[in-house]
A and B are shown apart, each in its own frame.
Chain A
């Protein structure tokens, strides 16, 4: 028997300890939820679904990680196995950089299916990442993949709403609300108790997901590429983010239930909100962000790069910039003919052209990422109203599968490309004496394979300010709404 039943409450009785009421209400709600077979069945079904999603995610991650590791090894073998050739020809052959898969992307694959996983590092050009896996996915993939994040973001809030929509309206319809209030229970105690029970239910929903994800991360993380402690830090942040998200739904359900004229009206209103949050808001926000902060088309982007690249000379020895650079170099070395230079002019000109290109690529790729960031900020700006808009970027950031993580990889890949170009040009500068010059395996070996260490949780945190503000705002707003809504609850 609960404390609530033992201690009768009335206006004439001494003021009861509010904490005791809160505990009693929470215990009663919790018991009712446990006794509701349909709700219990939904909980169990969702938990199994989450575990299945984790299983699929883990299998897919392991497969992709194997593929990428094998590809990196094979590409290194190809690089090392090149025949003797001019170093610049080797630079044109280039290398591939493969993005290592973040361990937590098994829970939230984020934008990974929509970005390429490999970048070709070739001479003169910074390439975009190639091969979006989504291109090989079918129509079903466009309606959502079965990931843990997808279930927690869309199905879990629905269950919280279904568990909470009758929180106050059900009591009102059963006639027990007036009884409770007339016995001296304050509305805010009732709210706190019911919210506690719903948040407890949300925690119960999160528990199998968290335990499953923790086990998967512990067992499957490649410690040579990722720090396990960092992965658990990220997982901790994810748990907090999802808990805030679901807690907001608990307060929303209770607030609407307190205001609604009937449980049915509360359910309809909450389902409408769930629909908007889960489906409409992300799509509309993307369409609006795309309209307000457009990105260039591939052709416009490449034309922009090509236009700026036309200012530098490439292999065009008649280009005014080439002639100017040659004259400047001759002057610097105090000679009148490139043949009299103590170093290879071809190497110098390649290095100069590369350096000019670096500035151009930084400018264009930086502007593109800035446009993505603007779109992402616009999309997330309504996160306090439609929390999926805040949770998605937060979740992807801490799972290491957002576009910032992709940009970090692309930046590291480009840095490696520049190392290759610089090494190759230096070799030509110092060793090429005629057009027949070739380099061999020593040079290929000296140029290291691409090695990438993914950024830490601090990086995810630094880019998640807006998303965190959105989630906190969402929880604050729903708590305020619920407190406002319960002001209408009167004993008479």
Chain B
């Protein structure tokens, strides 16, 4: 142990004297704090978005209630058209009384943008088919979406490994090239422990600094209470294990006994492969094997359903008029029934198209998930998005919750519309409320973390073998 500590202390003293090391560490800390600061601003904007949507909903419903009260008291001269009549259940659930379904923000939402810039945090659920509301996007410059944000996930996945590699890439090669390796090995009773100590000093600096800066940033921008949460423990585990992966890789390459230049080139190529090419390749392969189905099919199915329903309705109406000549037609009721029929037809077809799409996308994701184990960077990115509550799984869960709520919402309004029962103040009091179902964070984090840990263990084994081969 003393040889390990001696090696660690000695190397730490050398590192502390290097200006470039300080510069790299300060840059890393600055990047982490900036990422968390801008993450906090992003979270505030999302909260404001949800609050504004809820405010708009409250105002809209209040307006309907006031109009309803006037109608009930007979204070209006004429009846409003059906699409503005708060008593008309067929129209109100389709927009004027639409309910906001909002995604609850995770305490560590500032850590990663994940999929949150692609999926709006609020969805206005109506009685229409899902194509009408589920795919409404938040307004964002597409060029911003394309380049992504400098969030903590980005700093951890891309910047942090390079600082580790810069410090750890040539412990043995550097000593060998300077001619100090033999001296180092000869000066310790347990040369392996001394080398391990020196290596530990090189990797502890970036890993420790990253963990510390993350803790300070999270405490400052998300609140000190978050530091005691399980999510924060998961965040630190991810950072630690990912850091150890790159350290083990650097050590394994260094253990091959080649030059510093060889190590640098090999590790840069590994970095490009792991962080850039593997995720991009996995994405392209999964997309090629199981192409994402076109959402256009869904729209066309909904439109075809509504035209078919329209025609059926026309034919039924024509038959009815033939069979009941002279009977006075209630055009408002006819309009309502036509609307209900087309909505129902579109709903059924859209549901079946969405189910087929989801099944295809599930196959694509399953392949991407399996291939994802080839890239610890991708696994880490997924785990960080999971900690931030912005993963694909989380959003799929959100959409599933909306699907359940959508059925409830439709039942509420359509049962009244079919029965021609006018909406009352009591109905407005008991409008269904959205609740997010299920938590998926643990599954989002555990599997990717395990993948990185296994790669790290394999590389550590190789690194140990390399260290054992070193002789004075």
Q: Which residues of A contact B (CB under 8 A)?
A: 38, 42, 49, 53, 56, 59-60, 63-64, 67-68, 71, 74-75, 78, 81-85, 93, 96, 98, 110-111, 113-118, 120, 128, 130-146, 150, 154-155, 158, 162, 263-264, 267-268, 271, 275, 279-280, 282-287, 289-290, 295-301, 303, 315, 368, 371-372, 375-376, 379, 392-393, 402-403, 406
Contacts of B209 in A (CB 8 A): none
How long is the Cα–Cα vector from A155 to B276 in the complex, in angstroms? 9
A290–B144 touching, CB < 8 Å: yes
Q: Which chain A positions have C-beta within 8 A of B148? A: 142, 282-283, 286
Chain B residue with the shortest CB-CB distance to A130: B135
Given the contacts A78-B303, A150-B280, A298 and B154 also touching, CB distance less than 8 Å:
no
> 15 A-B Cβ contacts within 8 A?
A59-B288, A63-B291, A74-B300, A84-B314, A128-B139, A139-B114, A143-B280, A146-B283, A264-B260, A287-B38, A287-B149, A299-B52, A301-B139, A375-B141, A392-B143
CB pair A268 B166 closer than 8 Å: yes
The answer to the question of B146 belonging to the interface, with a C-beta cut-off of 8 Å to chain A, is yes
Contacts between the two chains (Cβ within 8 Å), count: 229
B interface residues with partner A (beta carbon < 8 Å): 20, 31, 38, 49, 52-53, 56, 81, 114-115, 118-120, 135-150, 154, 157-159, 162, 166, 260-261, 264-265, 268-269, 272, 275-277, 279-284, 286-288, 291-292, 294-297, 299-300, 303-304, 306-307, 310-311, 314, 361, 364-365, 368, 372, 377-378, 381-382, 385, 391-392
In the assembled complex, the Cα of A118 lies from the Cα of B136 at a distance in Å of 12
Whether A138 contacts B141 in the complex (CB less than 8 A), given A68-B296, A286-B148, comes out as no
**Chain A nearest CB: distance from B142 CB in Å?**
4
Since A60-B287, A67-B294, A280-B150 are in contact, a sample of 15 more A-B pairs with Cβ atoms closer than 8 Å, ordered by chain A residue number, is: A63-B291, A93-B303, A114-B118, A128-B137, A139-B115, A139-B378, A140-B372, A143-B275, A146-B284, A275-B162, A287-B150, A289-B141, A371-B141, A375-B143, A376-B143
Residues in A neighbouring B299, C-beta threshold 8 A = 96, 118, 120, 130
Complex CA gap A60/B392 in Å reads 22
Please report whether the interface of chain B is mostly helix, strand, loop or mixed according to DSSP.
helix
A159 to chain B, nearest CB (A): 10
**A139-B382 contact in complex given A78-B307, A146-B283, A158-B268, C-beta closer than 8 Å:** yes
Contact of A143 among B138, B149, B361, B381 (CB under 8 A): B381
Chain A residues whose C-beta falls within 8 Å of the C-beta of B311 in the assembled complex: 83
B150–A297 CB distance below 8 A: no
Distance in Å: Cβ of B30 to nearest Cβ of chain A: 11
> Which listed residue, A139, A158, A297, touches B139 by the CB 8 Å rule?
A297
Q: Give bound CA distance, A368 to B140, whole Å.
A: 10
A contact face: mostly helix, strand, loop, or mixed? helix
Q: B56: which A residues are within 8 A, CB to CB?
A: 299, 303
Instruction: Given A134-B118, A144-B279, A144-B280, decide whether A403 and B143 contact each other with a Cβ distance below 8 A.
Output: yes
User: Bound state CA distance, A218 and B43, in angstroms?
Assistant: 47
Residues of B within 8 A of A145 (CB): 280, 283-284
Chain B contacts for A96, CB-based, 8 A: 296, 299-300
CA separation between A286 and B268, bound complex, in Å?
Answer: 26
Q: How far does the alpha carbon of A91 sit from the alpha carbon of B368 in the complex, in Å?
A: 43
Interface pair A283/B391, CB less than 8 Å apart: no
Q: Chain B residues near A139 (CB, 8 Å)?
A: 114-115, 279, 368, 372, 378, 381-382, 385, 391-392
Query: Nearest residue in B to A264 (C-beta to C-beta)?
Result: B260
Q: Nearest B residue to A396 by beta-carbon distance?
A: B143
**Contact across chains for B276 and A143 when beta carbons are under 8 A apart:** yes
| Distance in angstroms between the alpha carbons of A63 and B385 in the assembled complex | 30
B140 to chain A, nearest CB (A): 7
CB pair B264–A131 under 8 Å, yes or no, is no
Q: CA–CA, A372 to B139, complex, Å?
A: 11
Contact check, A154 vs B136: say whether CB atoms are below 8 A apart.
Answer: no
A267 to B145, CA, bound (A): 31
Residues of chain B within 8 A of A301, CB atoms compared = 139
CB-based contact B268/A162 at 8 Å? yes
Q: Once the chains bind, are B139 and A75 in contact (CB under 8 Å)? A: no
How far is B269's CA from A49's CA once the two chains are assembled, in angstroms?
Answer: 14
Query: Could you tell me if B279 and A143 are in contact, using CB atoms closer than 8 angstroms?
Result: yes
* CB-CB nearest in chain B for A116: B137
Residue numbers in A under 8 Å from B139 (CB-CB) = 128, 295-298, 301, 368
A38, B269: Cα distance in complex, Å: 11
Chain B residues lying within 8 Å of A298, measured Cβ to Cβ, are: 120, 136-139
Once bound together, how far apart are the Cα atoms of A311 and B258, in whole Å?
Answer: 76
Residues in B neighbouring A279, C-beta threshold 8 A: 154, 158-159
Distance between Cα atoms of A146 and B162 in the complex (Å): 22
A72 to chain B: closest residue by CB: B296
Docked pose: A75 CA to B280 CA in angstroms: 34
B residues near A162, Cβ cutoff 8 Å: 265, 268
Which residues from chain A contact B81 at a C-beta distance below 8 Å? 315
Residues in B with CB closer than 8 Å to A38 are 265
Nearest chain B residue, comparing its CB with the CB of A78: B303
Smallest distance from the beta carbon of B277 to chain A beta carbons, Å? Answer: 7
Task: Tell which of B136, B142, B166, B372 touches A111, judged by Cβ atoms closer than 8 Å.
Answer: B142
* Nearest CB of chain B from residue A345's CB, rounded to whole Å: 17
Determine the residue in chain A with the shortest Cβ distance to B157. Answer: A143
In the complex, the chain B residue whose C-beta lies closest to that of A133 is: B292
Question: Which interface residue of A110, A134, A300 has the most chain B CB atoms within 10 A?
Answer: A134
Q: Is the CB of B382 within 8 A of A82?
A: no
Does A67 lie within 8 Å of B378, measured CB to CB?
Answer: no
A5 to B401, CA, bound (A): 76
Set of chain B residues within 8 Å of A42, measured between Cβ atoms: 269
Q: How far is the CA of A162 from the CA of B261 in the complex (A)?
A: 11
Q: Which residues of B contact A150 (CB under 8 A)?
A: 280
Instruction: State whether B137 touches A132 (Cβ < 8 A).
Output: yes
Chain A residue with the shortest CB-CB distance to B295:
A131
* Alpha-carbon distance A334/B159, docked complex (angstroms): 76
Known: A133-B292, A137-B292. A286 touches B142 (CB 8 A): no
Known contacts A131-B135, A150-B280; decide if A275 and B118 are in contact (CB<8 Å): no
Chain A residues near B145: list those with CB within 8 A.
Answer: 111, 114, 132, 134
Docked-complex contact B365 and A138, CB < 8 angstroms = yes
How far is A458 from B204 in the complex, measured between Cα atoms in Å? 55
> Which chain B residue lies CB-closest to A369?
B141
Q: Lowest 4 A-B CB distances belong to which pairs?
A: A111-B142, A143-B279, A140-B283, A282-B147
Most buried by A among B144, B268, B392: B144
Measured between beta carbons, the chain A residues less than 8 angstroms from B303 are: 75, 78, 93
* Residue pair B307, A82 in contact (C-beta under 8 Å): yes
What is the bound-complex CA distance between A60 and B277, given in angstroms? 18
For residue A120, which residue of chain B has the nearest CB? B299
Min Cβ gap A370→B in Å is 11
Chain A residue nearest to B120 (CB atoms) is: A298
CB distance from B276 to the nearest CB of A (A): 6
